[in-house]
Amino acid sequence: MTVRELKEELDLMVGIPFNLQRLHFLDQGILMDDAILKFYDVIPGAVISLCIWHYDGWTELVLAAVEGDPSKVVTCFFQY
């Protein structure tokens, strides 16, 4: 599986657009989309960290969605 394919799966699971995701594994920095996970020595059960690019208010929208408050989501969405 490539990093991009993993990001697309995460997009469906957590609702964060793949192009706003930054994935980190151990101390190897940001995982590059075209690399396969094996390149970074990712093994089953490993922990990959997901961060969000700060871009045009998306962070506030994602945080509102995580809180589960629909009114905050709508407010953030229509703010931009």
Q: Is the CB of residue 18 less than 8 Å from the CB of residue 35?
A: no
Domain ranges of the chain: 3-79
* 78's tokens: 């229509």
Q: Is the CB of residue 37 less than 8 Å from the CB of residue 6?
A: yes
pTM of this prediction exceeds 0.85: no
Give the model confidence (pLDDT) of 16-68 as tens digits. 888 889 999 998 789 999 999 999 999 999 999 998 876 666 677 777 777 87
- Who wins on pLDDT, 23 or 74? 23
Q: Is the CB of residue 48 less than 8 Å from the CB of residue 29?
A: no
Rounded distance between C-alpha atoms, residue 4 and residue 78, angstroms: 29
CATH of domain 3-79: 3.10.20.90
